[in-house]
Structure 1
Amino acid sequence: MAVIIIAVGAVFADHQNKVVSDQAVRADVLAKVNLIRAKLEGNINGNLQLVQGLVATVVTEPYMGQQRFASLASNLFGRGSQLKNIAGAPDLVISLMYPMDGNEKAIGLDYRNDERQRVAALRARDERELVLAGPVDLRQGGQGFVGRIPVFVRSAGNTERFWGIISAVVDVQRLYEASGLLDDGLGIDIALIGKDALGPGGEQFFGNERVAKSNPVTADVLLPSGSWRIAAIPKNGWPSTPDNAWFLRAIMAVAGALVVIPFLVTGRLIGERQRNYAELSRLSRRLELALEASAIGVWEHDLGTNELTWDDRVNEIYGKPTGERRGYLDWAGAIHPDDLAGAHADFDSAMAGGGPYLSEYRIIRPDGEIRHVRSKAIIYRVANDTPKMIGAEWDVTADVLLNKDLVRAKQLSESKNAELESAKARIEHIALHDSLTGLPNRRYLDQVLEDYAANARRAGGYAALLHIDLDRFKHINDTLGHAAGDAMLVHASTVLRSKVDGEGFVARIGGDEFIVLCVVHDDIEQLALLADRVISQMREPVYYQGHRCRFGVSVGIAVDNGKDVEAKHLLVNADIALYRAKSRGRNRYEFFTEAMQSEIVDTKRIADEILGGLERNEFIPFYQPQFDAKTLEIVGVEALARWRHPEKGILAPDVFLRIAEELNVVSIIDRNILEQSLLDLEGWSAANLHIPRVSVNVSARRLQDEELIKSLRKLNIKKGTVAFELVESIFLDENDDFVTWNLEQIKDLGIDVEIDDFGTGYASIVSLLKLQPRRLKIDR
């Protein structure tokens, strides 16, 4: 029975030893995995967080160019970043890139046509959130993890539209190195699963495939748009048996023998004695093993004689040879001078209070190595003997160093967090301010406009908005360069700041446009005075590199009356007033009125109807006969454009021509009238109605059309049957070489050129000889 019990106990102990060993190994692997997981998450999220600031800037500047984009993106490539490049893809086509060197091949890439990247790009657009893909093979070479951030911007009418995608490429190798995956001393094999952040269901993209099949320790790496599964096993696989298995089995076998053999040989009494002895030996051995495994040494101090007794492990800790007698001076002499006073104080305190004793100090070994030691003891007394102190001492150097490393890691993390907060603040400032003038930008204006209007009402007044546009700015920019234009913008911002009191708000919303927000009370005339001061100051010449630059401003003014107009509509109303000021000669200001709004609505309605009328072929020719003055015979007809409006009937050009010119569709109307006139001419000929020729009007834009001659050739116009009428005041003194070439080609096609309304312009004899018109129509 004793044999069976010992055998069962040995099997159970061996099994428990293996379970404990396996748990310890897996716990060690899990600790390393968690460290790598934290680094991966920190590096990925840190890189993408930097790019979010750039996205905020793109929202406010959707039409930024490469230079502006590169200037902003370069600030994100600093120490600790694994970013390889950042690309901007308006309408899903890459046109912005930083850095450009080495990435030229990516310019022009259309995500919709790239099989490898289309799914992730469209997913980012459709889900309106960041999508992390990869690793992917990059067109410009190498591999990277690509974070694609969809960008939506505000368009007219306060609606959102999809601008495109900002793609940040994180270098694969640099990310792996920074996260510790390539550390030779890692001690574990790692696999990463979940390509394109698809989690455990995705493909494995790092490490050996055997890792995932070997019962690995796993953890999830949380990403902005999904996760990866990290799996790990020890370098040489999981140990089949614990390191101390055979040693433990040998001990159990010896113990069993000590119990069983005496029991069989000497009988019950001797066996009982042997069992007691074996138990004592086992307990002693366990204590010895426990002390050895924990590297704890035991010492005894005779307080009467000051004699110390150290076991082998204490001697090993202090670097002393074994078998020698020790005294108090041996202990005190080994303590670091800076810690000696504290160790003495702890000892004296224990003696005064009768124990217990607890102290931690540094010792200097004979070889010069410094170790951190912790000691704990109690005082006991034996009858007729001096009091003694017995205690344990162990080396805590590794724990102290680990604690210092943790403190340094915490300080480093706090430092990085402070840097991130500082970078975030800088990015927010950049996103809300114009880099050239330092004024708030359109995004900042949108944020403060509603609150500004509400605060103005609470103060007993109204919010007023002045929309200011620089006149002749483009001329200065084109003739003296962008640097001169920038100087004019800075001057304009300085003038506006000086003319607006401390309670006003000045912003640059793009190009040469500025906004001034201020509070007015009952006297609206103060706005007119302010506009006059701004216009007057802006007229003053500005000197730039020896050039005397002059420009003016047009001002549109809108006031929030607190009843009918929402604050967000102030910009729209001021823009309408600005348009009116420009149309009335510039260098002036206009207040927004309801009449302006009605005019804009009517113009918009007519413009929509014109575009619809072109689609439905509502613009038709009306013919005016031309007679020979002597014979009174019909020598031709003039095609006059009319609009066959579905509701208002036939409309003359004075109703639609001005708006059609603004829409840039006059050329389309001219072309439609010409084509219909040719069809009618053929129809009259088939009906035996002889009309020799037809005259049609041609606009200035039509003469500047590069496709004009090609389209005329397709019509197969018979020579002498068509004439183009040109208005003298527009074309006769035109010095455009391309227009002149078009007119020559028109004559070569057999199309006559006539001058309409002759006498209203200032045509010279030279220009008439150069044009050589077929006919002149004298103005009444």
Structure 2
Amino acid sequence: MLALGSYWNHLNQTLFQKEQASLLRDILNSQAGAIEQLLNQSLVTTALLAHEVRRSGGEPPDFTVRAAEILRDFPAVSSLRLAPAGVVSQIFPLTGNASALGSSVFEQARTGVAAQQARQERRLTLDGPLQLREGGIGVIGYNPVFLASDDDGEAFWGFVAAVIDLDPLLSVMDLDALVQSGYYFELIRLTPSGVEFPVMAGGDRPPREDLQTLTVRVPNGQWRLRMGRNAEEGPGGFWIGQLVSLVAALVFTWLVHYVLREPQRLRTLVESRTRELHQLAYHDFLTGLVNRRLLQEELVQALREQARSGGPWHCSISISTTSSVSTTPWGMRWAISC
């Protein structure tokens, strides 16, 4: 019984762990997909603004108006910037970002590599995480703009950049609820050289072998989302199951022992009751001496034996002190012979 209980407990633990791993994988896929979708939606702002630059043949005269209209539909984007030849010339909103005016994106230590990569590969590139001047953690999307040149080619005009605040962006994913449910998450940016930069994290980190990782596809880069959960049914739960199995095995053993011992107990009880009934039938209740009924039965038995032997009939009841005698209710000893 204990072996069966231990095996069943092991199966339950294995099944629980597989269910938890499957649930974690589903949540991880869902969260990674949500991050990709939210980032790509926010980076659409650079494409819209780049279209205005191409339409205007350079810096659009109504940049402030167009930027305000775009930000109204993308609340996670904290600011939009124009950087002709890589030098920031216009920012909306300007409040809190004025210090970035006139700076070259190529000369900045943290963003210069991403800007250079975006220009060379001629595609949108995401850089970060960065500590934003207005507070919080954010990323910057650099979208290079190329305009038609006189030689029927394209010349690099500059960048359209969007600064994305990750806190409001990821707040719609309700990661705090996952943390309160015991989950752990960490969002990591992976550089081309393989170095990991943490973007954000939350919850109590479980052992590394309990973490699952999924790649988040971002423009011209790679991020990773790791998630895990401290197991509810760890070694403690396993030993509780073993203890329950032991208790069940002991109860089962006692029941089997009781069932197997019951026939012997009943035989002993029947023999005891039979002796008591025999005592009551052939002995006086008060004195404990043999009664007339025993005398009659022994007399009949003696006559039957004499009849089977075929000898002459002669029966007598005599007083005797031998061991094969009975005691009368009057305290005398008697013997029957035929």
Please say if 1:70 is aligned against 2:58: no
Contact kept in structure 2, 1:149 and 1:167, CA below 8 Å: yes
The CA deviation at 1:186 is 5.1
Question: Amino acid of the residue matched to residue 147 of structure 2?
Answer: V
In structure 1, the partner of 2:245 is 252
Q: Distance in 2 between matches of 1:119 and 1:199?
A: 13
| Structure 2 residue matching 1:257: 3-state secondary structure | helix
**Residues 242/44 of structure 1: CA separation in 2 closer, same or farther (3 Å cut):** same
Contact kept in structure 2, 1:89 and 1:164, CA below 8 Å: yes
In structure 1, the partner of 2:18 is 23
Q: Distance in 1 between matches of 2:190 and 2:101?
A: 25
Q: Distance in 2 between matches of 1:138 and 1:253?
A: 60
Contact kept in structure 1, 2:136 and 2:167, CA below 8 Å: no
Please say if 1:193 is aligned against 2:188: yes
In structure 2, the partner of 1:111 is 105
Contact kept in structure 2, 1:151 and 1:165, CA below 8 Å: yes
| Structure 2 residue matching 1:72: 3-state secondary structure | helix
Q: Distance in 2 between matches of 1:80 and 1:69?
A: 16
The CA deviation at 1:133 is 0.9
The CA deviation at 1:33 is 3.2
Deviations 1:457-478 (A, max 9, x none): xxxxxxxxxxxxxxxxxxxxxx
Question: Amino acid of the residue matched to residue 256 of structure 1?
Answer: A
Q: Distance in 2 between matches of 1:129 and 1:51?
A: 11
Please tell me whether Structure 1 or Structure 2 has the larger radius of gyration of its CA atoms: 2
Q: Which of 27, 52, 56 does residue 57 from structure 1 map onto?
A: 52
Contact kept in structure 2, 1:191 and 1:230, CA below 8 Å: yes
Q: Which of 16, 34, 37 does residue 39 from structure 1 map onto?
A: 34
**Residues 243/256 of structure 1: CA separation in 2 closer, same or farther (3 Å cut):** same
**Residues 193/199 of structure 1: CA separation in 2 closer, same or farther (3 Å cut):** farther
Please say if 1:164 is aligned against 2:158: yes
Contact kept in structure 2, 1:135 and 1:195, CA below 8 Å: no
Q: Which of 5, 10, 16 does residue 10 from structure 1 map onto?
A: 5
Matches within 5 A, 1:525-674: none
Q: Distance in 2 between matches of 1:28 and 1:88?
A: 44
Q: Distance in 1 between matches of 2:85 and 2:10?
A: 64
Q: Give ranges in structure 2 of 5+ residues lacking alignment.
A: 264-338
Please say if 1:131 is aligned against 2:131: no
Contact kept in structure 2, 1:199 and 1:229, CA below 8 Å: no
Contact kept in structure 2, 1:85 and 1:169, CA below 8 Å: yes
In structure 2, the partner of 1:232 is 227
| Structure 2 residue matching 1:169: 3-state secondary structure | strand
If asked which structure has higher relative contact order (CA below 8 Å, sep 6+), I would say 2
Q: Distance in 2 between matches of 1:148 and 1:38?
A: 22
The CA deviation at 1:263 is 4.8
Contact kept in structure 1, 2:182 and 2:203, CA below 8 Å: no
**Residues 19/124 of structure 1: CA separation in 2 closer, same or farther (3 Å cut):** same
Deviations 1:351-385 (A, max 9, x none): xxxxxxxxxxxxxxxxxxxxxxxxxxxxxxxxxxx
The CA deviation at 1:63 is 2.4
In structure 1, the partner of 2:276 is none
**Residues 248/29 of structure 1: CA separation in 2 closer, same or farther (3 Å cut):** same
The CA deviation at 1:79 is 4.4
| Structure 2 residue matching 1:231: 3-state secondary structure | strand
Which is further off, 250-259 or 149-158? 250-259
| Structure 1 residue matching 2:70: 3-state secondary structure | coil
Q: Distance in 1 between matches of 2:203 and 2:234?
A: 24
| Structure 2 residue matching 1:189: 3-state secondary structure | strand
**Residues 35/167 of structure 1: CA separation in 2 closer, same or farther (3 Å cut):** same
In structure 1, the partner of 2:167 is 173
| Normalised TM-score (structure 2) | 0.67
**Residues 213/134 of structure 1: CA separation in 2 closer, same or farther (3 Å cut):** farther
Deviations 1:495-531 (A, max 9, x none): xxxxxxxxxxxxxxxxxxxxxxxxxxxxxxxxxxxxx
Matches within 5 A, 1:348-747: none
Q: Distance in 2 between matches of 1:31 and 1:63?
A: 46
Q: Distance in 1 between matches of 2:39 and 2:184?
A: 21
| Structure 2 residue matching 1:190: 3-state secondary structure | strand
The CA deviation at 1:161 is 0.8
The CA deviation at 1:129 is 1.0
- Cα RMSD, aligned residues only: 3.2
**Residues 221/136 of structure 1: CA separation in 2 closer, same or farther (3 Å cut):** same
Deviations 1:614-650 (A, max 9, x none): xxxxxxxxxxxxxxxxxxxxxxxxxxxxxxxxxxxxx
In structure 1, the partner of 2:91 is 97
**Residues 245/42 of structure 1: CA separation in 2 closer, same or farther (3 Å cut):** same
**Residues 141/104 of structure 1: CA separation in 2 closer, same or farther (3 Å cut):** farther
Q: Give ranges in structure 1 of 5+ residues lacking alignment.
A: 1-5, 271-780
The CA deviation at 1:39 is 2.5
Q: Distance in 1 between matches of 2:18 and 2:193?
A: 26
Q: Distance in 2 between matches of 1:84 and 1:224?
A: 19
